[in-house]
Structure 1
């Protein structure tokens, strides 16, 4: 009987250890549960899809990580990462020096221009002079908010912050603001929508500012989580090399959103 109990206890310990080993590879990927097409969008059943969702899952598969999409409001993503509510952020978060004070980043997985859109009946460009006297909407806690405050605050009538980019787009369509700044691809998607087509057009891309806008978008991880960061960076290189990145990208874009060259962090 004692021998049986010892064997049973040993077997349970091995099974428990196996459970811990399996769960150690599970990664909670944080994202803000808001429509940001074509990167993130939700179907009628509530399932999330889009280019970034597919790329994130491809990265996880390549890295042999069991990833679970975990919704957290945008301004709670970095706090959630630091308090271990999530293990990584894959949500169009630009790599910036300011954010690198709090978290680490993988290599970039895309880099696209930053643009300004506005009402069709207003003629202006994406410069401080062009936005003189305008109300400019931006999403809170984004590089776009930081950029607008740095470059447009001295000439714009107001830099108005929103919890989501969709709210800024809605206010632009309603005429409550004059312009909004965001990723060009996301703004292009809005301009192709029924609402966007009727109200607004592209005013141009903003002048480069590497310090604020960063070298591209990467996966955010906790400070010191080098193992996960390296796995994700290697997986990004892997899906670029094996064609999976291009296979997914061609479903959404007719150009390579990756940018000129990789950035290591």
Structure 2
């Protein structure tokens, strides 16, 4: 009996090792800068947040061995195209401009872009409300492109930051009049700092803001894209997506 148990354990170990070896390793790039509630490192340096939970669920469904790989945001697409990472899960919007360089999975969430400003400022999320104002945006984002296109002629300055957190802190300190970013990222900020409030959503511009957020992939990596697409659809259908999202949001982040 003892020999039989040992043999069974050994066989199980070999089976698990074979499964681990057969799993495709995918280096998933995330922005090295904290971007709550989507991605941020905890005190031990482990990455947490809604997109980390999303990545784990999708990779488990697709039977992929996904490894979180932090990359500076303004270099994340070059890291993908130069094979330093295999996918981007970093709140990257699907835009025509980006699709000239990389491919995307189907969308996995979609939320509007909004303006945040100091409480009582009277700023509105349009050209009239932002005339002669200093607007903060993160570099290499759709929000930077939107601000340049829609407010560049009226704003006193479009001030650019390497991280969203730097822009947030400058708004809190009064060094900029407004910031433009994703609604959920700024919602987390205004809830944590009494200085500021959401002034409202900017007018949609699909050519710049895109059609939701997708997993960024190299051109021609069709097999991996299909695995992600099937896994996204599966976790939406089986309730996994809604389950882990409840810890972060009280509405369906997937959007329209």
Taking structure 2 as the reference length, the TM-score comes to: 0.91
Shift of 1:23: 7.1
Distance 1:24 1:223, change over 3 A: farther
- Partners of 1:157 and 1:53 in 2: CA distance: 37
2:228 aligned residue: 232
Contact 2:23 / 2:65 at 8 angstroms: preserved in 1? no
- Partners of 2:120 and 2:78 in 1: CA distance: 41
How do 1:151-170 and structure 2 match up within 5 A? 151-170=150-169
2:243 aligned residue: 247
2:8 aligned residue: none
1:203 aligned residue: 199
Q: Which blocks of at least 5 consecutive residues in structure 2 are unaligned?
A: 1-16
How do 1:44-55 and structure 2 match up within 5 A? 44-55=43-54
**For 1:252, what is the secondary structure of its paired residue?**
coil
How do 1:20-59 and structure 2 match up within 5 A? 22=21, 25-59=24-58
Shift of 1:24: 7.1
Query: Is the aligned partner of 1:223 residue 2:219?
Result: yes
Query: Is the aligned partner of 1:64 residue 2:47?
Result: no
Query: Is the aligned partner of 1:213 residue 2:212?
Result: no
Distance 1:61 1:218, change over 3 A: same
Taking structure 1 as the reference length, the TM-score comes to: 0.88
**For 2:217, what is the secondary structure of its paired residue?**
strand
- Partners of 1:87 and 1:123 in 2: CA distance: 44
**For 1:175, what is the secondary structure of its paired residue?**
coil
**For 1:146, what is the secondary structure of its paired residue?**
helix
- Partners of 1:41 and 1:98 in 2: CA distance: 27
1:263 aligned residue: none
How do 1:96-245 and structure 2 match up within 5 A? 96-193=95-192, 196-197=193-194, 199-245=195-241
**For 1:182, what is the secondary structure of its paired residue?**
strand
Q: How many residues align structurally?
A: 240
Shift of 1:46: 1.1
- Partners of 1:181 and 1:62 in 2: CA distance: 34
Deviates more, 1:165-174 or 1:23-32: 23-32
1:258 aligned residue: 254
Shift of 1:22: 3.4
Q: CA RMSD in A?
A: 1.5
Contact 2:30 / 2:71 at 8 angstroms: preserved in 1? yes
**For 2:230, what is the secondary structure of its paired residue?**
helix
Task: Please list the CA deviations of residues 111-150 of structure 1 after superposition, one character each: whole Å capped at 9, or x if unmatched.
Answer: 0111000111411100011000000000001000000000
- Partners of 1:99 and 1:177 in 2: CA distance: 28
**For 2:198, what is the secondary structure of its paired residue?**
strand
Task: Please list the CA deviations of residues 141-187 of structure 1 after superposition, one character each: whole Å capped at 9, or x if unmatched.
Answer: 10000000000001110111100000000111111101001110110
- Partners of 2:161 and 2:105 in 1: CA distance: 27
Shift of 1:41: 2.1
